[in-house]
Amino acid sequence: MSGEKSKKSAAAAADKNKADATEKKTLGITVKKSEDFSEWYTQVIAKAELADYTKVSGCLVLRPYGYAIWEKMVREVDSRLKRMGVQNCYFPLFIPESLLKKEEQHVKGFAPEVAWVTHASDTKLDERLAIRPTSETIMYDSLSKWVRSWRDLPLKLNQWNNVVRWEFKHPTPFIRTREFLWCEGHTAFATKEEAEQEISDIMALWKEITENYLALAGVAGRKGEAEKFAGALASYSIEYFLLNGKAAQGPDAHFDGQNFAKAFEIKFLNKDGRHDYAWQNTWAFTTRMIGLLVMAHGDDYGLVLPPKIAPIQVVIVPILFEDSKKEVLAAAMKIKKELQTESIAAELDDRETYTAGWKFNEWELKGVPVRIEIGPRDLEKKQAVVFRRDARTKESVNLATIAASVKKALGEIQNSLYKKSEQQLENSIVAVKSISEIAAAVKNKKLAKGFFCGSAKCEEEIKANADGASSRCMSIDGKEKTGKCVVCGKEGIVTCFGKAY
């Protein structure tokens, strides 16, 4: 009888391994990042359980794992905004058409993207309501009532909300969707100098978050006239260059001057007893950063997450056998507690319905920075195996020093991912002196760098003759010399050009 049981047990194990192998093929990424970037990205988003599609075209479900990444970004950004004196608030999702039309440039820029509510049940509304594409108009109607004196300024407000922008041709998860989440900052100051200083402070904040937490190297700068935010005097952003040869805009900030203040009568009595219009800024950080994170760090095995932004920093996978299960699980739980004592987000995967190999593949796909493997043989040697997701390397570590070793590895992974991103950016930039050289750079999937005057006319020339490329951002660090614009020959500043994602 024991021989029969043994045969049945071996057969069951073989069937389970066969099922696991079949599921692994379905679970894993089936294309290479370098060969089919778009399909690779779509598979990672779906199979790492970041998001899923819905019946509404261009609208996503953020699954718990994807939303957990967003929550970590929100936590870091929000805490810093509060230290800058920014207060969170909430304004309606619906904006009356009469308000949306108050600032001419603004409404012109957003008109193609607005979704409208026209009826309540079968009753036609007296006035159409725009579903919030951005909140300047609804917020500034209130600001005109709240701001009366210089004592009411500065006023620094922020919303964590959703917006809807309907018009686009090629939806891409996180990068271009009809609805997305963001922080939407709106601030008002008594002087131009205060407003300009805040733009500098916000751009520094975006740089800190994207470099130190998301491990992304980008190019920060000012937008050309044709690329700036509708209604702003100047727009600033951090641009990221992707391995598919395209550039994508990251977090931004807009110096609105007094344009909206004049349109909405946001006036105050200044210290000299005269009426003046407020100086305003807007700025944003969006769920697009999740997509950029995936595109920049992911590999042929799936997602790769920087430890500082990973919901799960370490997963512990015990290698279980009936005769040693109790001891191995106890050791794994002890490791988990030690890591949590060091403020490391650790999870123990003690599911017995999957093999260890299946779990390894799943957690690699989800980009967990460190995996710890421990089985009976490891226990005998008083060690565990530590796997680094970024380099896909393994190392045996003494159990007595496991917490310290993992903490060190997490720091190394964070730094390594940023250095890799920085190196990729540097290797992707080529110097150009003409539109034809911009076109050649774009064709070779490079980011072009040359001088640009910033005019809308020259921007159109570039788009028409360089395969749709545009100026991504103009240098703002003050270290670069000026030179002749690649189009008109007038004085320009160092600018990066590329095709927008």
pLDDT for position 459: 94
pLDDT at 168 over 80: no
Give the rounded distance of the alpha carbon of 140 from its chain centre.
28
Residue 138 to residue 456: CA distance in whole angstroms: 29
Per-residue model confidence as pLDDT tens digits over 285-301: 999 999 999 999 999 99
Residue 165's pLDDT band, with cuts at 50, 70 and 90, is: very high
Q: What are phi and psi of 160, to 5 degrees?
A: -100, 110
Q: What are the angstrom distances between the C-alpha of 214 and each of 116, 416, 425?
A: 36, 12, 15
Nearest residue to 298 (alpha-carbon basis) of 246, 360, 251, 364: 364
Per-residue model confidence as pLDDT tens digits over 316-369: 999 999 999 999 999 999 999 999 999 999 999 999 999 999 999 999 999 999
Residues 6+ apart with CB under 8 A from 364: 301, 302, 371, 389, 392
- List, in sequence order, the alpha helices (H) in 381-434: 402-428
pLDDT for position 349: 98
Span 118-137, mean pLDDT? 95
Of 191-195, 255-259, 314-318, 475-479, least confident by mean pLDDT is 475-479
Nearest residue to 215 (alpha-carbon basis) of 225, 223, 207, 227: 207
Residue 26's pLDDT band, with cuts at 50, 70 and 90, is: low
pLDDT for position 477: 64
pLDDT for position 229: 87
Question: What percent of the chain clears pLDDT 70, i.e. is strictly above it?
Answer: 93
Nearest residue to 289 (alpha-carbon basis) of 3, 47, 36, 50: 50
Residue length, the chain?
A: 501
Per-residue model confidence as pLDDT tens digits over 197-247: 999 999 999 999 999 999 999 999 999 888 888 889 999 999 999 988 899
Q: Are 256 and 233 in contact (CB under 8 A)?
A: yes
Span 417-426, mean pLDDT? 97
Cis-peptide, bond into residue 154, ω within 30° of zero: yes
pLDDT at 430 over 80: yes
Residue 155 to residue 157: CA distance in whole angstroms: 6
Residue 168 to residue 196: CA distance in whole angstroms: 32
Q: Are 99 and 133 in contact (CB under 8 A)?
A: no
- Edge-to-edge strand order for the sheet containing 383-388? 346-348, 314-318, 370-374, 383-388, 393-398
Residue 480's pLDDT band, with cuts at 50, 70 and 90, is: low
pLDDT at 471 over 90: yes
2 three-state secondary structure: helix
N-to-C CA span, the chain:
65
CATH class of this structure's domain 312-416 = alpha beta
Span 152-169, mean pLDDT? 93
Q: Are 158 and 87 in contact (CB under 8 A)?
A: yes
Q: Give the domain 428-500 fold.
A: Translation Initiation Factor IF3 (3.30.110)
* Interstrand relation of 429-431 and 447-452 (parallel, antiparallel or unpaired): parallel
Residue 306 to residue 411: CA distance in whole angstroms: 9
Q: Which residue has the tokens 């997963």?
A: 315
265: phi > 0 → left, psi -120 to 50 → alpha, else beta; which? left
pLDDT for position 22: 46
Residue 478's pLDDT band, with cuts at 50, 70 and 90, is: low
Per-residue model confidence as pLDDT tens digits over 246-275: 999 999 999 999 999 999 999 999 999 999
* CATH assignment, 51-297: 3.30.930.10
Per-residue model confidence as pLDDT tens digits over 81-102: 999 999 999 999 999 999 988 8
pLDDT at 110 over 90: no
- List, in sequence order, the alpha helices (H) in 37-164: 37-47, 64-83, 97-100, 104-110, 136-146
Nearest residue to 296 (alpha-carbon basis) of 182, 410, 175, 408: 175
Q: Are 207 and 220 in contact (CB under 8 A)?
A: yes
pLDDT for position 167: 76
pLDDT at 456 over 50: yes
Nearest residue to 216 (alpha-carbon basis) of 183, 182, 246, 251: 251
Strand partners, 380: none
Of 38-47, 200-209, 224-233, 487-496, least confident by mean pLDDT is 224-233
Residue 21's pLDDT band, with cuts at 50, 70 and 90, is: very low
pLDDT for position 195: 98
Q: Tell me which H or E stretch contains 194.
A: helix 192-212
Structure tokens of 115? 């979704």
142 three-state secondary structure: helix
Q: Are 156 and 84 in contact (CB under 8 A)?
A: yes
Give residue 469's identity as a one-letter amino acid code. A
Residue 450's pLDDT band, with cuts at 50, 70 and 90, is: very high
Structure tokens of 478? 């003050």
Q: Tell me which H or E stretch contains 46.
A: helix 37-47
Nearest residue to 453 (alpha-carbon basis) of 394, 494, 418, 425: 494
